[in-house]
Amino acid sequence: MNRTGAELARYALEALGVRFTFGIPGVHNTEIYDQLAASPAVEPVLVAHEGGGAFMADAVSRLGGSVGTLLIVPAAGITHAASGIGEAFLDGIPMLVLSGGVRRDTGRRYQLHDLDQHALLRPITKGTWLAASHAEVVPAIFAAYQCATSGEPGPAYVEIPVDVQLFKGDAGPLPPTPAAVPAPQPASGELDRAAALLAAATAPGIFCGWGAIAATAELEALAERLGAPVATTLQGLSSFRADHPLHAAFALGPSAVPAGVNAFAGCDCLLAVGTRFAEIPTGSYGARVPDNLVHVDINPAVIGANYPARVGLVGDARPTLRALLDRLGPATAASGARLAAQSQRIAADKQAYLAEWLAHDPAGRVNPARFFAALRRALPRDGVVVADDGNHTFLTAELMPMLEPRTFLSPTDFNCMGYCVPATIGAKLAAPSRTVVGIVGDGALRMTGLEAVTATARGLGVAWFVFNDGELSQISQAQEIPLNRKTCTVLGALDIAGLATAVGAEHVLIADDAGIVAGIDAALAAAARGRPVFVDVRIDYSKRTRFTTGTVRTTLNGFDLPTKLRFLGRALWRRIRG
């Protein structure tokens, strides 16, 4: 049967269970848009900027269910979307990227958007496909989907030239919907070795990342079986519930809060699951990892990349952890005693850290710990928190307990500011019945804040808590001591109420501690009515996170002596001169 390439693209997206596409129409993709308008299953979502569209697609994928998909124009759409595609690439998030392509049947040069799309995308995707004929459209989309979702997930790209979209052609017999690619399975002998190491440890610990997000029950069982404290990565903050007595902290090493530092102090065997030991969760590699490292990851390249692994288990987290549990058998007297001792110390350390924060005087502004305590009380357990990148992210990681898997989304290894506002929209689209809030810095808000129009246009009730401190604080804090001046990190004023008006959202002000509870309630009530709302939180940033102090210290300690002296000399000189 002869069909247009646009019809074939629609067929493929429907077959794959794609729920939404994000993007902006242009002459290179309007035929596909027109097809999707008639689709009962796939909804094309118009965004303000393709970068926002890519963050939305990323959030759809992170919530599980369907794979976030982009439908964009080539070149200009691709470069705009590149920030979100890059984030998905480095964070291991599946994403399907579709764009039109220039006509290949006219022999013309200098067409609109006429660039090598594949060269643009190669470094930030797992694979790219060109559907040069009708017969290639469905197989290319299926192959890209399989690529995006198998192994360590990531984005995959398909270019469908306009002529293929427009004209009818014979696609031949359509291939069946692709089955999931089976994950690798660790060898039985390796599992035996790993279990033996863990069983012999006197102070085991667990470190888990986003790769463990579908294995939370197994992780809990293992932590309890071993009496092992658990630290999470930033991206995997919700991979182990924070109200479990063995949950110690975000981050491994000196950049963690005291509960994490103390719980792992004598760790003699670490089980790492679905983490790459990347820069953030190790506090710029300040983490001390014992020789007995059991490293579980679906991507073999990750194993031992930053810290040598005694045993590497290449496989899916869930079955691998189950196999370890089977081998370990029931708890022992020693593991039971560890469980009790660790739980007690962790609880005491957490309480002391919170008390230290609550005792901090925010000088008439909003104390972050008080804010997060109130937000935690107001949010349901499965409420979704979407962070951006900045000091607010690490405050969230240290002060806001995550209680269910996939309730915390953050731009992590690509570390792209501007994620929060659009990703919050993507999360709400993917999970309309859940409460979805964003925690966004005032700097990041400048990047993608206008994307809020996509929420107002669709009546999506989400609340963005803008941590309004007037600075690019994560950077200005790092400038403060060594440089004693804040070059390009002090922001001009932004009228957040004015922004809310411009996009048709509501506005709430939380000026000080006294306004926290009523402000959060008002914001969540507006969101529950289907209204997006910007909350101007006059946050106090005068108290540093442990993450920032620990990581700055690790970085300075890593310098050689002449560099240390140069930094110290410069800091002193600037302090004296003012």
Ligand X SMILES: Cc1ncc(C[n+]2csc(CCOP(=O)(O)OP(=O)(O)O)c2C)c(N)n1
Place of tokens 């939370």: 216
* Contact window for Mg ion (CB under 5 A) among 40-48, 337-345, 373-381, 441-449: 441-449
Check if the beta carbon of residue 129 is closer than 8 Å to that of residue 161: no
C-alpha distances out from residue 335 to 199, 225, 343, Å? 9, 7, 12
- Residue 444 C-beta: closest distance to ligand X, Å: 4
Residues 445-474 that bind Mg ion (CB under 5 A): 469, 473
Element (H, E) at 207: strand 204-208
d(CA 300, CA 251): 22
Backbone angles phi, psi at 437, to 5 degrees: -125, 155
* Contact window for Mg ion (CB under 5 A) among 230-238, 354-362, 439-447, 523-531: 439-447
**How, if at all, do strands 168-170 and 2-4 pair?**
antiparallel
Backbone angles phi, psi at 509, to 5 degrees: -110, 130
* Contact window for ligand X (CB under 6 A) among 38-46, 221-229, 378-386, 409-417: 409-417
Q: Does 393 bind Mg ion (CB under 5 A)?
A: no
**Residue type, position 17, single letter:** G
DSSP string across 234-260? STTGGGS-TTSTTEEEESSSTTS-HHH
Q: Which two tokens stand for residue 536?
A: 């101007």
Considering the complex, state which of residue 467 and residue 534 has its C-beta at the smaller distance from ligand X.
467
* Contact window for ligand X (CB under 6 A) among 162-170, 335-343, 362-370, 466-474: 466-474
Binding ligand X by CB under 6 A: which of 156, 416, 508, 537? Answer: 416
* Contact window for ligand X (CB under 6 A) among 188-196, 363-371, 422-430, 436-444: 436-444
- Residue 445 C-beta: closest distance to ligand X, Å: 7
Tell me how many residues contact Mg ion (CB under 5 A).
5
Binding ligand X by CB under 6 A: which of 87, 136, 316, 471? Answer: 471
Binding Mg ion by CB under 5 A: which of 209, 236, 281, 441? Answer: 441
Considering the complex, state which of residue 280 and residue 309 has its C-beta at the smaller distance from ligand X.
280
Tell me how many residues contact ligand X (CB under 6 A).
19
| Of the candidates 206, 211, 185, 194, the residue with the CA atom closest to the CA atom of residue 274 | 211
Using DSSP's 3-state secondary structure scheme, residue 490 falls into strand
Residues with Cβ within 8 Å of residue 48, at least 6 apart in sequence: 450, 451, 453, 454
Check if the beta carbon of residue 263 is closer than 8 Å to that of residue 205: yes
Count of Cβ atoms closer than 10 Å to residue 85 Cβ: 29
- Residue 509 C-beta: closest distance to ligand X, Å: 18
- Residue 493 C-beta: closest distance to Mg ion, Å: 12
Q: Which two tokens stand for residue 540?
A: 């106090």
- Residue 413 C-beta: closest distance to Mg ion, Å: 21
The residue number whose beta carbon is nearest to Mg ion equals 441
Element (H, E) at 541: none
Choose from Mg ion, ligand X, none: what does 389 bind? Cβ within 5-8 Å by kind: ligand X
The residue number whose beta carbon is nearest to ligand X equals 441
Residues with Cβ within 8 Å of residue 96, at least 6 apart in sequence: 16, 18, 57, 67, 68, 69, 70, 141, 144, 145, 148, 155, 156, 158
Residues 385-404 that bind ligand X (CB under 6 A): 388-392
Binding Mg ion by CB under 5 A: which of 349, 442, 451, 536? Answer: 442
Considering the complex, state which of residue 159 and residue 389 has its C-beta at the smaller distance from Mg ion.
389
Site string for ligand X, 473-502 (x = CB under 6 A): xxx---------------------------
Choose from Mg ion, ligand X, none: what does 416 bind? Cβ within 5-8 Å by kind: ligand X
Considering the complex, state which of residue 283 and residue 441 has its C-beta at the smaller distance from Mg ion.
441
- How many residues are present in the chain? 578
- Residue 366 C-beta: closest distance to ligand X, Å: 13
Residues 233-292 that bind Mg ion (CB under 5 A): none
530 phi-psi bin (left φ>0, alpha ψ -120 to 50, beta other): left
| Of the candidates 529, 491, 496, the residue with the CA atom closest to the CA atom of residue 510 | 496
Choose from Mg ion, ligand X, none: what does 398 bind? Cβ within 5-8 Å by kind: none
* Contact window for ligand X (CB under 6 A) among 65-73, 255-263, 463-471, 509-517: 463-471
User: Per DSSP, what are the bridge partners of residue 464?
Assistant: 438, 534
- Binding-site ranges for ligand X (CB under 6 A): 388-392, 415-417, 441-444, 467, 469, 471-475
The binding site for Mg ion (CB under 5 A) comprises 441-443, 469, 473
